[in-house]
Amino acid sequence: MVIRNDINRRSFLSNVGKGLGLAALSSVTVASLFSDVQAAGRSIARLSPAEAALDEDYWATIQQAFSVTRGIVNLNNGGVSPSPRMVTEAFVRYTWQQEDATAYTMWQLLEPQSETVRTGLAEVFGCSAEEIAITRNASESLETLLMGLDFKSGDEILTTTQDYPRMLTTLRQRELREGLKLKLIKIPIAPANVDDIATAFERGVTPRTKLILVSHQINLTGQIIPVKKICDMARARGIETIVDGAHAFAQFDFKQADLGCDYYGTSLHKWIYAPKGTGMLYVKRDKIAKIWALMASEDKNKNDIRKFEEIGTHSAAMRLAIGEAILFHNAIGGKRKEERLRYLSRYWMNKLKDVPKIGFNTSFDPIQSCAIANFKIDGIDPVAIGSYLMSKHKIFTTPIVHEEFTGIRITPNVYTTLWELDRFCEIVTDIAKKGLPKA
């Protein structure tokens, strides 16, 4: 049975407390953890997001909301992020709950409550709940679209050489099977003017272009793409747009209207800190019917966004704990989080920018980057640097080797301390000056 709850934000939060949608705050542990975050937020309510980004007392409370080890300095939050304790506690609680008379509890009591989660996600993204499907990750969301759109032999799909490998693999499969054409363009790295990226897309369009796939934020460098300009250009030419938001959603503050895209796919286990294996798919309502689902659904569901969730038996616990992640995100505030993440990124970037031999594959322009950045040390293999940082100093980073550039991706998070970044910068500076120690 499908249950629809088109409720507003006030109802969403109210329902959480009353246990009508998510039963989250009936858990004493979760309620206590959430109360601490709310109290910390009240202490800086007078501050602008930019001012709040500098309040270390506030962020110390947020840091304590996570149960991360301090034995490893984790600067690879771009791949997958730890969840705050309140999310993990809720996930465990829902898991235990669904183990009791599972077929009844999971399908009739818990699963219908995911409608409240759907509404919460729609609130964050700025769209109707009837345009949001809950998936397992960005790859599932995007492959649903890339495999579900109808194309003819010779139709072109335009994207970049820096796009995510799994998406390129998906399109190459269709290229082999159906004769459609995947066209890859190069975009500038850390451009002086972000509009140069939009210009590259516009120049890549031909009369055969039917779809543009664009990453909201490049996973390799953290480059934020001018999505709105690209989507407006595409729409004027009758071309549809899919935006890969795997790294962007809930890292920096935006709504669907700021993008103007037809479709959007993202993971929720990155910047909104939901359980691992959760994702979100946005499909503009008047386009739902035309997309074939990866797993077939009954024809009566043709116009229903939920047809993309027909994946067979799956845990309700992960879905419901997305609700606690939304609460945590909203308690911090999207713009406040964005300002803190950009502050942390600029903190280490500014410390290293004047060190000889160190360069950047990421722009310092706040319009072009937020939490994710990529640096390089001339003459030293980034893989060797990453290996040394982890083996010797327990600093976890992401070496990037691409045919157009190499470097190391650094991604702090709201639980990252300035002391950890200071230590990282000290060691990297030493490497730049002296090279890697000989084995």
Q: Find, among 15, 95, 76, the residue nearest to 275 by Cα.
A: 95
106 lies in some domain: no
Distances 140 to 118, 168, 184, 251, 275 between C-alpha atoms, Å: 17, 14, 22, 20, 16
Q: Find, among 103, 84, 104, 108, the residue nearest to 24 by Cα.
A: 84
218 lies in some domain: no
Residue 403, token pair as written in the block? 């045919």
Q: In which element (H, E) is residue 402 found?
A: strand 398-402
Q: What is the pLDDT of residue 28?
A: 83
Angle at 91 between CA 89 and CA 95, to 5 degrees: 115
* Residue 229, amino acid: K
**Under 8 Å between Cβ of 52 and 336:** yes
Q: How do residues 225-273 score in pLDDT, each as one tens digit?
A: 999 999 999 999 999 999 999 999 999 999 999 999 999 999 999 999 9
426 lies in some domain: yes
149 lies in some domain: no
**Under 8 Å between Cβ of 333 and 41:** yes
Residue 113 to residue 122: CA distance in whole angstroms: 15
Q: In which element (H, E) is residue 360 found?
A: strand 358-360
- Domain hosting 395: range is 335-434
Give exposure, 302-337, as e/b (b: 16+ Cβ within 10 Å). eebbbbbbeeeeebbbbbbbbbbbbbbbbbbbbebb
292 lies in some domain: no
Distance of CA 108 to the CA centre of its chain: 30
Q: What is the pLDDT of residue 33?
A: 87
Helix axes 56-64, 28-43, angle to 10 degrees: 170
Q: Which residues pair with 396 in a beta bridge?
A: 74
CATH assignment of the domain containing 375: 3.90.1150.10
Q: How do residues 151-188 score in pLDDT, each as one tens digit?
A: 999 999 999 999 999 999 999 999 999 999 999 999 99
**Under 8 Å between Cβ of 131 and 303:** no
- pTM of the predicted protein model: 0.93
Residue 151 to residue 178: CA distance in whole angstroms: 8
Distances 70 to 66, 188, 395, 418 between C-alpha atoms, Å: 11, 37, 10, 13
Residue 128, token pair as written in the block? 């109707």
**Under 8 Å between Cβ of 339 and 345:** no
Residue 111 to residue 106: CA distance in whole angstroms: 6
Residue ranges for the chain with pLDDT beneath 50: 1-26
Residue 323 to residue 201: CA distance in whole angstroms: 37
Q: What is the pLDDT of residue 7?
A: 36
**Under 8 Å between Cβ of 332 and 55:** no
Residue 14, token pair as written in the block? 């109210």
**Overall domain count for the chain:** 1
Q: What is the pLDDT of residue 9?
A: 41
**Residue 141: DSSP 8-state:** H
362 lies in some domain: yes
**Under 8 Å between Cβ of 208 and 351:** no
423 lies in some domain: yes
365 lies in some domain: yes
